[in-house]
Amino acid sequence: MNKRILLILLILISVTLMFVYRNINAQGKITDPDVLELYPLSQDQQAWLSKKGELTVGVTDDAMPLLQFTQQGEASGMLADYIRYIGSGYNTEIHFVPLKRKDAETMLISGDVDAILSMHNLLYDQVIAYTMPLIEGKGILMYENALSLKDSQGGAGFSVLVVDGDPSAQILQKSYPHMELQFAESTEDAARRLREGEANGIAGIEPALNYYLGRDYITENLIRARGYLFEKNYCLGVDVKNDTLYDILNNAIYHMDSEQLLTDLQSKWMGISYPIYAESIIEKFGIILLIMFAAVLCVFFVFYQSNKSLYEELQQRMELLKESQNEMQTTFDGVTYYLAEVNREGKIVDINKALAQHLQIRRHNAIGLTLPEVFRTDETVSKQLIQLIDLTFEEEKEHSLEFVVGRGIFKAHTFTIKDTRQKVRKILMMIIDVTDQRSTERQMLQDNKMIAIGQLAAGIAHEIRNPLGLIRNYCYVLKSIDESDTATRNEAIKVIEKSVDKSGRIIENLLNFSRMTSNKKELVNLYVQISNIIDLQRNWLDARDIDIYYRFSGTHDVVVNAEAIELVLINLISNAADAISGKQGRIEVTCLHEEGQHIVLTVSDNGEGIPPEIKEDIFNPFFTTKKKREGNGLGLYIVYNEVSKMGGDLKLDSEVGVGSVFTITIPIEDVSTEGAKIQ
């Protein structure tokens, strides 16, 4: 701690010494105006001045009375002495020539003069280089005392004289748009025209206006507006291409004691000793900034030393954070699922190693692309993926979507990633290849169909045997009747054709049911579809002394996954039949469909019912209460799974000894909305 205090004291002592040195150094150096030490010139600068021999400085009359010309053309005044000091210090003669305000910059650029004494004008910064400031000048507005600037409407009624090129003109035009401005060639010309009554006001640089107006005895009838139109510095301006002369003049002004010199010259020419020197920003605020910097440095040093242990702890925390990030990245790349981070614009922020390998793309090449772009999906799937991302950001909760790319089937799950303010910043999308799983499910469904067909085989055989028997009998009739008995022949042919149609329908229903599941939605006649399923099972149920009844209400045509409904009905009817034993059985199937609404499918039976304790288990795979080899426990699991995939709802009401009712509600979709659905 002692070292800290010692260092702080050393810094404060150094700042104090600099401040004292500055004040001592600023006190009267000028004891002999004829001997002035200036900033030393380089050899190139000395050679340039020697070759030049003398310098010509152009001066406008707005520098009056700080620099004025006698009748013989000699320049005198405070600024004339100031500039001559520079010339005498470098053994160079300086001549002054009067210029009109509007011609000053033009004559400098053309080379008629080497420098001009002028206020800094931003409009000429591209062609004129201005030195450090010499003194400050301020612009004022004076007008006849009978007028009121406050009561005027934007300067209406005012006619003001301004020297052409003076910055007052722009300021007055902006502040008083209705003020009439008249332009004069010089401040002296403006004062003369005011005296002759051409205007009722005048604007310009304060010392020059006071000089000419006072000389012509016209100040008695004028009042000065409060405040200043502008505050600018008198500088020496040189051609921007003349770097040598600029460096000579600027270094001379910057390094010599301008404050004390101007104070002495002011005392000589104006009889006052307080300075009117216009310090530059650096000179005016340099010490304050230095003290502030030193103070900040001290505070920073104390803070740093006091919190060194905190800094070390922060470093440890940063290392732990980095280790945690590395662990997360390792986990991110280690999982076999496909992972992608996506921002609000749907652009990929990062993908894991597994997804990069699957897509056969480098990770950095995927960043900035969208998921449809990297998966090369079709237009329909692309819209679904974009909708999935937008919905996750909008609702700030997880969603899932199953989609197909080529021959692959993928399931995407989204998870929100929130910042410290609990705002969703991006989402993590986990994509699982479920192609094999769906293939296995399809095979399981197909196996279930084959089992159902096996159960129905006896009934189907009986259904086909009956019309075949009729065909055989009537073939015998056709062989034995007389050729002239056309009535009997026609009746026999009619019965044979009817029997063939019936057998054909049975076989067609059986083939339709046994085909491989496609999971596609299509426009079907739902009434006929359900009737065909019931017809396939009717004989099998009759053999078990079970009656089945079917009732349909509503619109027949609907877009639905017909094969899924077939599987659901086959398994529910089979399950209901197995629940009935030792009594006359009854199964009722009802279907309600109102256009644009849900499909409500109900299968009820008068079987033994389901005990409450196993209601939660009956939809689990391989759960069964049947004897061995009488069931595999997949029927109700398939029902539940197919209903879920259709986005439907399955409800069970059962009472032991009374029976069970399965109610299925399936949402229907328009043909235009067919496709994968976001969950």
pLDDT of residue 29: 44
User: In the CATH hierarchy, which fold is given to the domain comprising 337-433?
Assistant: Beta-Lactamase (3.30.450)
The CATH code belonging to domain 439-673 is 3.30.565.10
For 220-247, the pLDDT digits (tens) are 788 888 889 988 888 999 999 999 999 9
End-to-end CA distance of the chain: 65
List CB contacts of 578: < 8 A, sequence separation 6 or more: 607, 626, 630, 631
The CATH code belonging to domain 43-256 is 3.40.190.290
The candidate with the shortest Cα–Cα distance to 241, out of 120, 132, 127, 131, is: 127
**SS3 state at 126:** coil
> Residue 209 burial (CB < 10 Å; 0-12/13-18/19+)?
buried
Domain boundaries, the chain: 43-256, 337-433, 439-673
> Residue 122 burial (CB < 10 Å; 0-12/13-18/19+)?
exposed
**CB atoms closer than 10 angstroms to residue 545:** 11
Place 394 in a pLDDT band, splitting at 50, 70 and 90.
Answer: confident
d(CA 194, CA 200): 7
- Residues paired with 620 in a beta bridge: none
List CB contacts of 66: < 8 A, sequence separation 6 or more: 77, 78, 79, 135, 207, 234
pLDDT > 60? residue 455: no
pLDDT > 90? residue 114: yes
Top-ranked range on mean pLDDT: pick from 242-251, 329-338, 366-375, 665-674:
242-251
Length of the chain: 679
Contacts of 639-645 with CB under 8 Å at 24 or more apart are: 639/567, 639/568, 639/571, 639/572, 641/441, 642/445, 642/564, 642/567, 642/568, 643/568, 645/519, 645/561, 645/564
d(CA 212, CA 188): 6
pLDDT > 80? residue 527: yes
Average pLDDT estimate for 299-304: 68
DSSP track, 623-653:
---SPTTS--S-HHHHHHHHHHHTT-EEEEE
Place 26 in a pLDDT band, splitting at 50, 70 and 90.
Answer: very low
d(CA 338, CA 354): 6
Mean pLDDT rounded to a whole number for the chain = 79
Q: What pTM was computed for the model?
A: 0.39
pLDDT > 90? residue 256: no
Dig out the tokens for 81 from the structure.
Answer: 């002495």
**CB atoms closer than 10 angstroms to residue 355:** 24
pLDDT of residue 576: 87
Task: Tell me the longest C-alpha to C-alpha distance in the chain.
Answer: 162
**SS3 state at 587:** strand
Better pLDDT: 222 or 492: 222
Average pLDDT estimate for 660-671: 81
Better pLDDT: 359 or 591: 591
Place 371 in a pLDDT band, splitting at 50, 70 and 90.
Answer: confident
pLDDT > 70? residue 506: no
Average pLDDT estimate for 331-349: 83
